[in-house]
Structure 1
Amino acid sequence: MKLLVRLRPIAFIAVLLVLWQIAIDLHPIHILPSPWQTLGGIAYLIHHKLLLKYIVASLFRVTWGFALAVVLAVPLGLTIGWYRRAEMAFNPIIQLLRPISPLAWIPIAILWFGVGDLAAIFLIFLGCFFPLLLTAINAVQNVPAVYINAGRNFGLTPTQIVRRVLYPAVVPQLIVGLRITLGIAWLVVVAAEMIAVDSGLGFLIVDARNAGNRYDLVVAGMAIIGIIGLALDLAIRSLEHVKSFRWGYAEE
């Protein structure tokens, strides 16, 4: 039974591939490549030693932008959520900047950092910072008061309450926020690479479109982006199984 459950996603993907091939065969004008042509595009990238190069370039930018956002946004969000006066002071500026799309910052990013990795990393950082900040703030504010009161009743100091009660209590919500934000980072890097850099999977898609309408490479790049995005999400979800975090989740 467990094997069948695990095979369901594979079966669903196989059905989609079959439907994709049927749609291509039935349409008189092949406006999209077939699954086999897309696979051939991936093989082309591997043969010309471009696939690994573009993947590494994109992951490099995502890693730095995402890591910087985590290092800055999570502690700041926990602090703002813990101190109500800090939330009152910072909330207006947060709500003012949060709705601005990271892509709207592309002209400023290019002006400040030029066309290259720094501009893309800056855009990814912006795309991740505010979602993580709000997640951390809400995580602290949603900690049941009974946890804090119990810590105080046991004589814990404020520092001990933060370390032994607050941080473990907010970890489940932070993991969810990390999953969502990493997906945003992966979206932003592709868009940034289409404009602000000359390498990476986003650049691959634009370059393939401009260099002779190589739509097999375009769709191949899209498929690779999806596969890597899935792998990154699974990596973040694996944190839910860390023993020290398990108490924050409901028993299944």
Structure 2
Amino acid sequence: YNLTISGVLVSNFASSLFRVLVGFCAGSVAGILVGIIMGYHVTLRKIFSPIIALLYPIPALGWLPLFMLWIGINELLPIAIIFICSFFPVLYNTVTGIKEVNKKAIAAARTLGATEYYILLHVILPLALPNIFTGLQLEAGMAWRVIIAAEMVAIPTGIGALMMRAESLIRVDIIIVCLMVLSVMCLVFEKLFIYLETKLTSGWK
């Protein structure tokens, strides 16, 4: 209660939320766009797939020391970590979704005289959408877990930083409140994308 009234919880939550939203949205949009290009163009997919396969398994927090050297300890650092956390999984799921689209459906659309743009927008993307949203759902929750860890290590504000200050003061109650906020936000983000997937897929049918 005192955390809320004093504004400490709200201000730190707002900092974490801003970082997650900016990093997740930027990483997801970039992942979807690059994934569409790679999925649609076989040559580009063959060229860049080995690079993606090499970088994808690296945990997002594994980039933290490198980004601390490149970017420094500032507001851009946690956003960059969330960007990486979101980009590669969404990219991978987008490419996979497009690759798994039934080739007969594409051939049938071409036979009927559909343009490549129409095929991409009305055939490929609707069929690849479940895979794309699988990546978004997974990373929506993961983004919150990663931002908390990044704030614990390198950032003086945010829910993660608040938890570290509470630990140094032996304030178990504050830590529990922060964990509850984290749990709720992970759940809200994941449910949001389940809802969006349902609305979009039903609208495309």
* TM-score, structure 2 normalization: 0.94
Question: What pairs with 1:123-162 in structure 2 (closer than 5 Å)?
Answer: 123-162=81-120
Structure 1 or 2, whichever has the larger Rg, is 1
1:1-252 map, 5 Å: 43-210=1-168, 212-242=169-199, 244-246=200-202
Conservation of the 8 A alpha-carbon contact between 2:141 and 2:187: no
- Quote the RMSD (CA, aligned, Å): 1.6
Q: How many residues are treated as equivalent by the alignment?
A: 205
Structure 1 length-normalised TM:
0.77
Alpha-carbon distance in structure 1 between the residues aligned to 2:102 and 2:30? 25
- What's the % identity of the aligned pairs? 31
Structure 2 CA distance for aligned equivalents of residues 116 and 214 of structure 1: 27
Q: Provide structure 1 residue ranges, at least 5 long, that are not aligned to the other structure.
A: 1-42
What do residues 175-221 of structure 1 show as CA deviations (whole Å, max 9, x unaligned)? 221111111211111111111211111111111001x2111111111
Looking at structure 1, the residues matched to 86 and 125 of structure 2 have their Cα atoms a distance apart, in angstroms, of: 20
Q: Specify every segment of 5 or more residues in structure 2 that has no aligned partner in the other structure, as ranges.
A: none
Q: State the AA in 2 paired with 1:142.
A: E
